[in-house]
Amino acid sequence: MNIRLKVINRSDDEHRPNIVLFQKNVLADLEELTLAWKVIRNCGRDCYHPFVYPTDFEVAIGDSHGNYSPRAPVANGQALVVRPTPSGRRLDRDPNAAHSAEIEVANALPRGSVDVNIYKAGLLVSRKTAVAPGQKAVFRFQPTLWIGVASQVVQSAALESAVLERINTRLSLVGIGSADIVMTGGGPGPDARPHAFTLENIQPY
């Protein structure tokens, strides 16, 4: 299912701040980095930026040579496996995997680590690097978006810890078919308010 969203800039900013949106893998280990899923740039005051948030994902594997597999659709509760073939490697459904609430990608290659890349709406949302043979990457995503204002953020790149500490707005999309995400606050001088994001005009699916 696709959720239709629209970020509206009703802030007091005279400049046009970068708005960053991301998701968190709730099963991430300490070494796994949070990525900037979407960065909205140059959206001026009273302007808006529409986009689609699909509830499902795509997955692709990469290697140390910069090669990537075709992307395969995947959702929470599904498992895939990387298998060797005479011409390389293939990403398949794993019919033998135990049922769970996670996205699992197992490396069944005899040798060679892989990176597991998770995409949403064609943009990289999460990554687990260097998954060795016999190991698996495990992801679980709640229907939640984190949103905030940050400078010098690159889409699909890792977010620095200082940025993550400043962004604490969490938007639950449970039961939502479409909504506006309205940004307020900001502005120049000592009277500037912190940026705030709220859901408005919510339509259920």
CATH number reported for the structural domain that contains residue 154 in this entry:
2.60.40
Domain final residue, candidates 118, 138, 158: 138
Q: Are residues 134 and 176 in the same domain?
A: no
Q: What is the pLDDT of residues 163-202, one digit of tens each?
A: 998 898 999 999 999 999 999 998 888 888 999 999 999 9
Supply the pLDDT for residue 90. Answer: 87
Supply the pLDDT for residue 69. Answer: 92
Domain final residue, candidates 109, 138, 167: 138
Q: Are residues 83 and 17 in the same domain?
A: no
Which stretches in the chain have pLDDT values below 50?
none
Instruction: Look at the chain and report how many structural domains it folds into.
Output: 2
Tokens 């990387």 found at: 82
Domain that holds residue 124: 57-138
Domain final residue, candidates 88, 115, 138: 138
Beta strands in 10-160 (DSSP E): 19-22, 38-40, 48-54, 57-62, 72-74, 79-85, 88-93, 103-107, 114-120, 123-131, 136-139, 144-149
